[in-house]
Amino acid sequence: MVIADAGLANETAAAGFIGRIPVRNIWLLMLYASDLFRTSGRTRVDAEHNPDEIADLVAELLAQAVEERQRRQLSLGYRPRSADLSRVRGRIDVLRTERRQLLARGAVACRFMELSVDTPRNRFVRGALEAVARLVARPELRHRCRRLAADMQALGVAGAMPSRAELSADRIGRHDAADQQMLAAAILAMDLVLPTERAGPRPLPMPDREEQWARRLFERAVGGFYRTVLPPVRWHVRTGSCLDWPLDWCSEGAREILPGMQTDIVLDDEVAARRIVIDTKFTGIVTAGWRREATLRSGYLYQVYAYLRSQTGRGDALADHAEGVLLHPTIGEAMDEAISVHGHLIRFATVDLAADGAAFRRQLLKLTGQFEGQTPPDETPAR
């Protein structure tokens, strides 16, 4: 089913291009891919305030980043403390010790540095969670942000929200580089602006528009979208999974030259017992054929077919009826077609990178649903 978009021409005209691919806002892909820092050069850009439920998008990214950091433990930092102790720690505060006659009581006033999770960075993230929770539209996401903020406070992140000047003095080193994504999402949550590619007053690093990097960015953005948006209690999202060939026999040395198989995104729906294998391609979905004006690229079709059929009959029930999706950016007309081969649904779909964030979200979520007109496996179409 080819889908005509009445506003596509206007949106495409307003979008930039990477090769032949129209891209309205590359920062949106960078958000989903969590590739916020791979930039080159600087330019001045405009910004949209709260476009297309940006509060919900940023809140999802922030919550996911905080959950990941809490699983690995929040980073620690040194903070100055003063206390009256029974032993010397750090420097002695002579004036306070003498004034309060602490030595007579077997104590000494000390000033020292203490490791704590109550750092300006963590306090800023906790404040961002509390702030964005008041703006999101979905109740479950609002509760998730508030729960994470309460968890951080229970862990000891109880200080006041730092100013931007205090935060700028908190440098991220090699040992805590994992905080970059969490902090970047927190800053976006506090600003609630998404840069656009229109010229404006804000100086920002300009993303690369190199085609090879953009191809990888598209793959990571789709994987990051599903990992952020799909509920983890139902969906299991894997990216970059390697598959084995079901070899019955091979000659000496054949295994060394056999090409590997690596999927881009695999979605496992635990409730519906479905597996969706998504292979992203940063090209047009069709090409000119010998006898037809437009045809699917045969190499891509063979590739996804090999991903599906090579894993059947190996004791994995989800693999036996796995679905495949070849996902391309939209060039001209949108497409969403499907075939069934040996019990596997293979879908050929496009996502419009020249559309706004809400449309991008709807198109990707649509791929996790059943294909329109799909016949259930246990039914036979009427003749």
The CATH code of the domain that includes 241 is 3.40.1350
Please check whether residues 97 and 233 belong to one and the same domain.
no
Please check whether residues 109 and 218 belong to one and the same domain.
no
Tell me if 94 is assigned to some domain. yes
Q: Tell me which of 116, 140, 174 is where a domain ends.
A: 116
Q: From CA 299, how far away is CA 179, in angstroms rounded?
A: 40
Tell me if 110 is assigned to some domain. yes
Residue ranges of E strands in 135-195: 193-195
Please check whether residues 216 and 358 belong to one and the same domain.
yes
Q: Could you tell me the residue range of the domain that residue 301 belongs to? A: 211-247+260-366
Tell me if 35 is assigned to some domain. no
- Measured in whole angstroms, how far is the alpha carbon of residue 2 from the centre of its chain? 29
Q: Which helix (H) or strand (E) holds 340?
A: strand 334-341
Tell me if 336 is assigned to some domain. yes
Tell me if 1 is assigned to some domain. no
Instruction: Give the model confidence (pLDDT) of 211-220 as tens digits.
Output: 787 888 899 8
**Does the structure show a pLDDT above 70 at 380?**
no
Segment 223-227 mean pLDDT: 88
Chain mean pLDDT for the chain:
81
Segment 276-300 mean pLDDT: 88
Tell me if 352 is assigned to some domain. yes
Instruction: Give the model confidence (pLDDT) of 51-83 as tens digits.
Output: 446 677 778 878 888 888 888 888 887 778 888
How many domains does one find in the chain? 2
Tell me if 4 is assigned to some domain. no
Give yes or no for a contact between 125 and 59, defined as CB atoms under 8 angstroms apart.
no
Please check whether residues 216 and 322 belong to one and the same domain.
yes
Q: CB neighbours of 380 closer than 8 A, spacing ≥ 6?
A: none
Tell me if 272 is assigned to some domain. yes
